[in-house]
Structure 1
Amino acid sequence: MLERSSSPLKICVLLLSILLTGCSSVKARKLPYDAWSLNFYSPDYMDVWIETAAVLDIDGKVFGNAGSGIPAQGYPRPLSKGVPAEFRGKPAGWPEIPGGKGRRVVGANLPELLYVRWQSIAEPQTYNALIRIPESTRELMRNSEDVFCRAYQKVVTRHRKWLVVGLAPGGIVKVWITGPCLQAIEVTREQASVVPLGPHLGKALGEYYFFQEESKAYVEKFGIPYGSW
């Protein structure tokens, strides 16, 4: 199983085998922009640590260092310290405009498969997911759209070149595509699998990443809104 893979090479082999046995037959096409971005987001106070992410593009190339670290999050605010008198974040559900932070997948064509393994620190639990991106989504990423952009106060032409992956407790994964000045379009919602070996495939001896003080206080007071994602 994927969660027992102990090296990037094994992940790559599995991604390639899935591609060869069930991939899209659409011909690869050149991107209309330099690169697309893989971004991650977690609900307020539902702290996450991304251990690894990988991409298989439609040319059959694997990009094994596509993401890691802390995803974007509304609350706690950056550099916040201590527990506030009032919790202003709303972790239940997804935002209308999903944000996200990550990195550009330079050199990749459009994505066929995404793999991500992460720690849901609020629970705590370790999950992984293998997500297939449909051709209809790639077509939307290729096409440009004319949209009125408030930042420029005029109509501009933009592409949906940001792939945003939301990671929530219970192993819920939601994916959108969006871009500058454009509305987000939902791609898929997936249920991830638990990684039996725990954090870092057992190499962390069961130790999870640091739980922020404000997030911990919120969860202890209000719990985790399972079922809202």
Structure 2
Amino acid sequence: MKSITKIISILFLLGSVSACASEQPDSHKTPWDKWYFAFTTPKALPAQVTLLKLLDVDGYASTYRTIDQPQGISVGKWSERNSAGNTQFNKADRLPQIIIFCWDSIIDKKVYQSTLFFTQDTWNKMTTPYPDVLESAKNAYRQMMLIGLAPEGKVRVWLRQYGHSDIPLNDTRITTVSGEELDMCKGVTNFPNGYEYSEGIKKFINEKKYPYGSW
């Protein structure tokens, strides 16, 4: 796992250099100017994302420190149409190749580091049109990605298709580590003094069995 993280770190470094130096046009054409990502959690099982790095398919690396935070209402299992946080800051210009991010699982009282490796299947889904729900003669695109954060460090990824159920990105390779395996996320937390459950969390999990659902 450490070797994979080192390779990713080198890729992000090279991506940052190429992004600054390159003046070549995009090699992966898209029918939209931007795509967006949003985080979601189960109801009353909150998490916070503290740092995110994205390497796109053209080799550009981006770092996000101001991140719109998760919101969610799923109970027991993920919904077919998941609610999620805003995307004011969570946006990118080019198709994603790798996303790595740090997050505090408040319900687990620990820091996780998750890495998402995307495939051609994701890029195809994001660039292939489907009939607009309101105007069937117009094209719409799946340019909203949802990332679910659940107890046990479970991470899921979908694309939103308006008017339909969220589309799971099952080909995405997801790795999550914590504790001594943390690298980029070591010491990165919004809770340096420890985690406390709110009264709402305490009430919700009362007499329920961890991890409070099938995620």
Deviates more, 1:51-60 or 1:178-187: 178-187
- 1:93 and 2:90 equivalent? no
> What are the within-5 Å matches in structure 2 for residues 109-120 of structure 1?
109-120=94-105
**Alignment coverage as a number of residue pairs:** 196
User: What's the CA shift for 1:210?
Assistant: 5.7
1:187 maps onto 2:169 in alignment: yes
Measured after TM superposition, the shift of residue 207 of structure 1 is 2.7
Q: Give the aligned partner of residue 57 of structure 2.
A: 58
List runs of 5+ in structure 2 lacking aligned partners.
16-25
Written as runs of structure 1 = structure 2, the 5 A alignment for 1:122-161 is 122-147=107-132, 149=133, 152=134, 154-155=135-136, 156-161=138-143
The structural deviation recorded for 1:67 is 5.9
Q: Which residue of 1 aligns with 2:199?
A: 213
Amino acid at match of 1:170: E
Q: Could you say which residue in structure 1 is the equivalent of 2:156? A: 174
The answer as to whether partners of 2:149 and 2:156 remain within 8 angstroms in 1 is yes
- Partners of 2:65 and 2:143 in 1: CA distance: 15
For the 8 Å contact 1:113–1:132, the answer to whether it is kept is yes
Contact 1:15–1:113 at 8 Å: present in 2 too? no
Give the % identical residues. Answer: 23
CA RMSD of aligned residues (A): 3.2
Q: TM-score, normalised by structure 2?
A: 0.76
Q: 1:105 aligns with which of 91, 94, 97?
A: 91
1:155-199 superposed Cα distances (whole Å, 9 cap, x missing partner): 24210001110011111110011243344211037351114379x
CA gap of 1:163–1:66, structure 2 versus 1, over 3 A, is: farther
Structure 1: give runs of 5+ residues left out of the alignment.
Answer: 19-26, 75-89
Structure 2 residue aligned with 1:81? none
Name the SS for the 2:207 alignment partner.
helix
Q: Does the 8 A contact of 2:28 with 2:58 survive in 1?
A: no
Cα distance in 2 between the residues matched to 1:191 and 1:113: 11
Amino acid at match of 2:78: W
**Is the contact made by 1:170 and 1:226 (CA closer than 8 Å) also made in structure 2?**
no
| Residue in 2 that maps onto 1:121 | 106
Query: Which whole-Å deviations, capped at 9, do the CAs of 1:126-173 have from their partners, x for residues lacking one?
Result: 1111110111110110111114x2xx4x42421000111001111111
1:80 aligns with none
1:70 partnered with 2:69: yes
Pair 1:43–1:177, CA change in 2 (3 A): same
CA distance in 2, matches of 1:94, 1:203: 27
